[in-house]
Amino acid sequence: MVPFFASISCGKLDIIRSVNRFLVIIVFFAFPLFAETRPDMRGDATVDDVSRYVDVRLDLDRILYSPGQDIPVRYRVTNRGYRIFRLFPNEDARRSFQFLVEDKAGHEITPIEKPRTMRREDGGKPVRDLVGNAVKEIILHPGETFEKTIYLNDLYDFKPGEEYRVCAYFKPESDSEAVVRSRGWTRLRLERVKQAPLAESQDVVGDPGQGLSPEETVYLFLSAELKKNWSHYLKHLDLTRYITSYDRYALQFAGASDLERPDIIRKFSTYLTTRPSDQLKRFRITRTDYEKDRDGELATRGNAKVTVQADRDSDGFQVRYEYVFTLVRAEQPGFWKIVHVSARVMRQGQN
């Protein structure tokens, strides 16, 4: 009898062990189902689920910027999960796309008290619902990325010569306090303000207010052409060097003797002042560049280049040129002479 009851007891123990194993298997497979966050009332994943699978990064085109230059930063929101997420940021983008900016010492930079209006990438008006609220729903499928460009200089005043680091805090729901922090920090730096060269030290040799700068010289030179005041036009040129800009006369001048060259210069002057067509109508000086030495400083006796956009009428067509005039310092202190010009056609069309 003992062996019989012993066998019954062993059977009960085997049954209990089997039941326990079955319960463990059920719990093991059912636990993830209970652990998953449940959808909210709209059928969307909860904010906790979004913060788990949504990745936020900042992307800048470069690190170094000039003072006053726009600093566009791309806000990249990526779905790293396995389900579709529907995000509803606030109609005020500053409340959903937030930043933390610190200087090099780690001190937080305070945003502008009254920031400029955030710009829209498409330049259009926001979509509004029947109540009048701005509507923006972001639908992200697995692996998809939403990008929004925000100009940091609209929100913060950055100081020239300083370095900053930026991180983002994305608020996926306008009516929730939960946020998703960006991965890592993005660095940016502003160049120091370069002081403009003093006129008396760079353009004029002598007392301040005397002489003409390269830009003034070119302005008077082209103005004289507009007014057909040829005596004032020619006095700004070093004809013996300016002639090399015109191939037709440059070859003659280079192969001529010292006795023949004055006659070629007279013919060249006549050509410049009696052109029947290609009349100058308007011009605009766009920039002036000075020659620099190896240390990046303005050379004391260096040349200057003045860039000009000019419109001319030629046989019923209007042609826009870009001229680059090269000037050297004249013998008379404080003055410049034009020694070369290069030209390229920017645009042409019928009048």
pLDDT greater at residue 45 or residue 73: 73
Q: Which residue has the higher pLDDT, 44 or 212?
A: 212
47-190 has which fold? Immunoglobulin-like (2.60.40)
Strands, DSSP E only, in 174-267? Answer: 180-181, 186-190
Phi, psi for 123 (deg, rounded to 5): 75, 5
Q: Is the dihedral of CA 198, 200, 230, 341 positive or negative?
A: negative
Confidence of residue 120 (pLDDT cuts 50, 70, 90): low
Q: Distance between CA atoms of 121 and 332, rounded to whole angstroms?
A: 55
* Per-residue confidence (pLDDT) for residue 3, from 0 to 100: 54
Residue 36: the pLDDT is 45
For 199-350, CATH gives 3.10.450.50
Distance CA 224, CA 272 (A): 12
Asked whether the beta carbons of 283 and 308 are under 8 A apart, the reply is: yes
Pinpoint the residues of the chain covered by CATH 2.60.40.2360: 47-190
Mean pLDDT confidence for 214-242:
91
| Residue 117: predicted pLDDT | 62
End-to-end CA distance of the chain, in Å? 123
Span(s) in the chain for CATH 3.10.450.50 = 199-350
- On the question of pLDDT at 66 being above 60, the answer is yes
Name the CA dihedral angle for 251, 253, 256, 258, rounded to a multiple of 10 degrees: -160
> Which uninterrupted H or E stretch holds 324?
strand 317-329
The alpha-helical segments, DSSP class H, found in the chain are 2-35, 47-53, 93-96, 199-202, 214-227, 230-234, 239-242, 247-255, 261-273
Distance, in Å, from the CA atom of 60 to the CA atom of 76, rounded to the nearest integer, reads 11
Q: How many residues does the chain have?
A: 351
Radius of gyration of the chain (CA): 37
- What is the maximum alpha-carbon separation in the chain? 146
Q: What tokens were used for 193?
A: 């303000």
Going by C-alpha positions, the residue among 314, 302, 316 that lies closest to residue 343 is 314
pLDDT of residue 8: 47
Alpha helices in 40-84 (DSSP H): 47-53
Give per-residue pLDDT as tens, 147-194: 888 888 888 888 888 899 999 888 877 666 677 888 888 888 888 865
Share of the chain above pLDDT 90, in %: 15
pTM of the shown model: 0.42
Residue 340 CB contacts under 8 Å (≥ 6 apart), including other chains: 241, 242, 244, 245, 325, 326
